[in-house]
Amino acid sequence: MPLTGDTTTDVKEYHRLVESGHKELKAIRQRGKAPSFGMQYGAYPPKIQSSIKCTLEEAEQIFNRYHNELYPGVTQFREEYVTPTVECDHKIHMGMGSYLLTDSPGKDIRTLTNSCSQFWSILTLLTINKMHIEIAEAGMEDHVKCVSTIYDSIYFEVTDDAQVIKWLNDTLVPIMTTPFMENQSVQNEATSEIGYDWATMVQVKNNASVEDIQAVQDEILTLKWLTIALERELSKDEQKIFDKDQTLRVTSGFTEDDLLKVWNKLKSLL
């Protein structure tokens, strides 16, 4: 990805490419989650250095650019709103009429600041509650089970069937993107990913057809069996070629020879 030198412009382009399925940049985003969340919660350079195994000088540069260029409002929000509010009222409004009380604002400032943003994971819980109703009404209890939630993510165990996955995708996304307040200025967005494990997740576009989903199923099936056969994940170069060449796929009912042909073709293209 070519850089313009303007942090905001580069980050927006980075986000666009990740959301369009750029897997190498997505891997970079995954590695950056720990320090990014940490700085939002109040982490300082030594913690960043420890979490991503970089030098202290690099951690300080990341810290300064995060707070001064990329998200100058994070520190400002804590220092100009949260801190004076809790020092005066000994409580902070999290959302929807819920408050977090404190008798030690200085000691609790990290938790108090976090609560203002993390409270909105309640929207995820409301979605799960609605999905339980939808699953029951559609008679999908044996095919779609909600198994976990982490912040703004919801995880389902789903029958490996394109029709079932389409039903879940078509039902879940509209619920998650429903406005949750009047005159909402920033609209919610949601996309689905499917895979046999977190290492082989592939995005399913909104309103995907059965054929679209079947193509994604072929992709993750091939990735699964290639990693098993190779006893490792694909290298970056291998993954790039695999993502671009749609002929490097096996389908359900494939044989060992089919998988070998895919691997031999992939090697020939390196």
Go through the chain and tell me how many residues it has: 270
Mean of pLDDT values over 232-247: 83
Token pair 């990913």: residue: 193
Q: Is the pLDDT at 119 greater than 90, yes or no?
A: no
From first CA to last CA, the distance across the chain in angstroms is 21
Q: Provide the β-strand partners of residue 157.
A: 145
Taking only the tens place, the pLDDT of each residue in 41-86 is 778 899 899 888 889 999 999 999 888 888 888 788 888 999 999 9
The confidence band for 267, taking pLDDT boundaries of 50, 70 and 90, is confident
Q: Is the pLDDT at 35 greater than 90, yes or no?
A: no
The residues spanned by each domain of the chain are 1-70, 195-270
Higher pLDDT: 238 or 193? It is 193
Short-list 177, 174, 213, 183, CA closest to 195: 213
Question: Is the Cβ–Cβ distance between 245 and 269 less than 8 Å?
Answer: yes
Short-list 125, 113, 126, 123, CA closest to 37: 113
Q: Give alpha helix (H) positions in the chain.
A: 7-19, 23-40, 45-52, 56-65, 72-77, 83-89, 105-118, 122-137, 162-176, 210-230, 236-244, 256-269
The secondary structure element, H or E, covering residue 152 is none
What pLDDT score does 206 carry?
A: 95
- The pLDDT > 90 percentage for the chain reads 35
Q: Is the pLDDT at 91 greater than 90, yes or no?
A: yes
Tokens of 240: 């790039």
Q: Provide the β-strand partners of residue 227.
A: none
Question: Cβ neighbours of residue 232 under 8 Å, at least 6 residues apart?
Answer: none
Taking only the tens place, the pLDDT of each residue in 121-179 is 788 889 999 999 999 999 999 999 999 988 789 999 999 999 999 999 999 999 999 98
What pLDDT score does 177 carry?
A: 92
Mean of pLDDT values over 178-193: 86
User: Any long-range contacts for 146-155 (C-beta under 8 Å, 24+ apart)?
Assistant: 149/121, 149/124, 149/125, 151/118, 151/121, 151/124, 152/121, 152/123, 152/124, 153/124, 154/124, 154/127, 154/128
DSSP secondary structure letters along 227-253: HHHHTSPPPHHHHHHHHH-TTS---TT
pTM: 0.66
DSSP 200: G
Short-list 25, 31, 20, 27, CA closest to 200: 27
